[in-house]
Chain A
Amino acid sequence: MANKFIVSLSPHVHGGDSVQKNMYGVIIALIPALLVSLFIFGVGAAIVTLTSVAACVFFEWAITKYIFKRERTTVLDGSAALTGILLAFNLPSNLPVWIIIIGALVAIGIGKMTFGGLGCNPFNPALVGRVFLLISFPVQMTSWPQAGQWASYTDAETGATPLALMKAAIKAGDPSMLSELPSSFNLLIGMSDSCQMGAGCIGEVSALALLLGLAYMLWKKIISWHIPVSILVTVFVFSGLMHLANPVYASPLQHLFTGGLMLGAVFMATDYVTSPMTHKGMIIYGVAIGFLTVVIRTFGAYPEGMSFAILIMNAFTPLINTYCKPKRFGEVVKK
């Protein structure tokens, strides 16, 4: 017999999906938000994003090569680049390069590789990096540049973000302060610059661009609708109830379109590795994130609660996986 046939168990065909396709798909979905941020923050956004991606990819490569001593590095699968972009999207555009590099090292080194690399990390690496920076460098991390200063980087003028204003309104107990907020529509498309306010982190300025990314990922079946929709609906309903009870709390639309909520709901909470595996679990996870976010935003010390909410729920993911089983075939016995 001339041929040595290949023998393996079925199935003998594969759908052609791959880790790379999914990772690059998410990166493509992030492009609209990236373009908007370049338009609003100019060169600062470009520097921060490029630094973050380069640092994340470098650390991933270096750790797999020199610490794990693996022959095949996982750099090309796009997961490190994705972490880099997501980390950058959670940083202000005037952050110095050295802080970004520390953030990338924490994100990849501590957030991901200490647990064994792709697929093993319990927490979203980009958020680990972000929260580390937020706690370590609170001043740099919370001085957001105003929009429209295309040519400036670390020298950009800063201002308070809508979220800080919302928090101040709650503290003062004065609902009229909320009228200074940009309109919901402006928040949606990212045009808050007319109000002389700090626009926030790179990736969170335009909710619309992020929703575009969501639509792309749903179309390509990269993620399912369960997590983003359950987060957004919970935030809307819960903040809406609070607003109705006391107008000092911002309106639900203002909650939805400000800060990292959209970014978190669409791109951070849906991270494959750290989110639950079943649809039921995903909805529990999403509802809890939405609830925690609003609680932290209105009652907590920080103006933004998305990162913390996601990290807290990441910790619950294994528990959710243990108790939320998919609907088994045969549980519905007769019609």
Chain B
Amino acid sequence: MNLILVAVISLGAIGLVSAIILYVASKKFAVYEDPRIGEVAAALPQANCGGCGYPGCSGFAAACVKAGSLEGKLCPVGGQPVMEKVAAILGLEATASEPKVAVVRCNGTCANRPRVTQYDGVRSCAVANSTYGGETGCTFGCLGCGDCVTACQFDAIHMNPETGLPEVDESKCTACGACSKACPRNIIEIRPKGKNNRRVYVQCVNKDKGVVARKACTSACIGCGKCVKVCPFEAITLENNLAYIDPAKCKSCRKCEMECPQGAIVAVNFPPRKPKPEAPAAEAKPAQTVAEA
């Protein structure tokens, strides 16, 4: 009986002392944190991808609370719905944002781009890029070692073993930009998804002269400038032998796609062309078509 009493008293005493220490410590060393930071962080996807430009979701939440405005702040993973939730918590206005997606701007498949050397180093694009121009004659195109695949936290990008190129799974891609940062050749671009998920872009980043580029890859942009001429909206610029379509100006008319002799311009998610190719674009944007005419 005595033994039990001693045990109960001593354990109780230890517990009491510990509780007091913990209480004092929690009061003494408490750090004030805006409770809204926690609330905002809870609304975020908690992927901690860094796509917003802040160190993780809590960093982004803190920045949102501190800034007092959501101007220029976007969680690329959650997109508009999450930003609206954040806006509701903070009592702010959510700024409209366009959904984006990662696009791989290289079509140097095994068939299009013959291999001229064999790379025998570490399977890392960053290392291969520092070694030399790559296994093909194109010193700008995809190296195929998959640094972007490793960088993706959403399982949204994979190497296609047949083409040797990475492919983006649009349904999973959050446009966080990790793959784009990982790519040592800046091939992956974060572009607006476009209306109805339809977009037109140049699937090449080769800045070599036409002859050199064509020799290296059958689907390389040769900088001929035909697309620039045909574009009714001045959306295409040609710099260093490479065409670039400005997504802000592009109206997805697909004229350039038809014009490109190399097939370097691609249009994705469009319905198959009808006999009259301009039809879908005309439907979508009647006003501009009239203006052009």
Cα of A215 to Cα of B132 in the assembled complex, Å: 46
Residue A4 CB within 8 A of the other chain:
yes
Residue from the set A4, A5, A7, A8 with the largest chain B CB neighbour count within 10 Å: A7
Answer yes or no: B72 CB below 8 A from chain A CBs. no
- Are the CB atoms of A6 and B116 closer together than 8 Å? no
Q: List 22 A-B contacts (CB under 8 A).
A: A1-B116, A4-B115, A4-B116, A4-B117, A4-B118, A5-B117, A6-B118, A6-B120, A7-B117, A7-B118, A7-B119, A7-B120, A7-B121, A7-B132, A7-B135, A8-B119, A8-B120, A8-B121, A8-B131, A9-B121, A9-B127, A9-B131
The CA-CA distance from A1 to B115 in the complex, in Å, is: 11
The 5 closest A-B pairs by CB, nearest first: A8-B121, A8-B120, A6-B120, A6-B118, A7-B117
B130 and chain A: residue at smallest CB distance? A9
Per the bound structure, the CA–CA distance linking A5 and B115 in Å amounts to 10
Specify which chain B residues have a CB less than 8 angstroms from the CB of A7 in the assembled complex.
117-121, 131-132, 135
Closest Cβ of chain A: how far from B102's Cβ, in Å?
A: 29
Q: In chain A between 1 and 26, which residues have their CB closer than 8 angstroms to a CB of chain B?
A: 1, 4-9
Q: Binding site of B, secondary structure by majority: helix, strand, loop or mixed?
A: mixed
- Of B118, B121, B131, the contact of A5 (CB 8 Å cutoff): B118
In the assembled complex, which residues on chain A have CB atoms less than 8 Å from the CB atom of B120?
6-8
Q: Which residues of B contact A (CB under 8 A)?
A: 115-121, 127, 130-132, 135
Q: Which residues of A contact B131 (CB under 8 A)?
A: 7-9
Which residue of the partner chain A has the closest CB to B120? A8
> With A and B bound together, what is the CA distance between A180 and B115 in angstroms?
78
**Residues of the B chain whose Cβ atoms lie less than 8 Å from the Cβ of A8:** 119-121, 131
Contacts of B118 in A (CB 8 A): 4-7
How far apart sit A5 and B135, CA to CA, in the bound complex (Å)? 9
Give B199 Cβ to nearest chain A Cβ, in Å. 36
Chain B residues contacting A4 (CB-CB under 8 Å) are 115-118
A8 smallest CB distance to B (angstroms): 4
Q: Which residues of B contact A1 (CB under 8 A)?
A: 116
Residues of A within 8 A of B130 (CB): 9
Tell me the residues in window 21-74 of chain A with beta carbons closer than 8 Å to chain B beta carbons: none
Inside 8 A of A6's CB, which chain B residues have their CB? Answer: 117-120
For the complex, give the distance between the alpha carbons of A65 and B77 in Å. Answer: 38
- A residues near B, CB below 8 A? 1, 4-9
A6–B116 alpha-carbon span in the complex (Å): 9
Give the complex CA separation of A8 and B134 in angstroms: 10
Chain A residues, CB < 8 A from B121:
7-9
Residue of B nearest to A3 (CB): B117
> CA of A140 to CA of B127 in the docked complex: distance in angstroms?
55
Within the complex, the shortest CB–CB distance from A6 to chain B, in Å, comes to 5
Q: How far is the CB of B136 from chain A (nearest CB, A)?
A: 11
- In the assembled complex, the Cα of A333 lies from the Cα of B131 at a distance in Å of 34
Whole-angstrom distance between the Cβ of B79 and the nearest chain A Cβ = 37
**Shortest distance from the beta carbon of B9 to any chain A beta carbon, whole Å:** 34
Whole-angstrom distance between the alpha carbons of A288 and B121 in the complex?
A: 41
Closest to A7 in B: B117
CA A7 – CA B121 in complex, angstroms? 7
CA distance A7 to B117 in the complex (A): 7
Bound CA–CA A283/B120 (angstroms): 39
* Given A4-B117, A6-B119, 4 more pairs with CB closer than 8 A: A4-B118, A5-B118, A6-B117, A8-B119
A61 to chain B, nearest CB (A): 27
Complex alpha-carbon distance, A7 and B137, angstroms: 13
Q: CA–CA, A8 to B130, complex, Å?
A: 10
Q: B122 CB to closest chain A CB, in angstroms?
A: 8
**Within 8 Å CB of A5, what residues of B?**
117-118
Nearest residue in A to B121 (C-beta to C-beta)? A8
Minimum Cβ distance to chain A for residue B114 (Å): 10
Min CB gap A272→B, angstroms: 23
* Smallest CB separation, B181 vs chain A (Å): 23
Q: How far is the CB of A62 from chain B (nearest CB, A)?
A: 29
Contacts of A9 in B (CB 8 A): 121, 127, 130-131
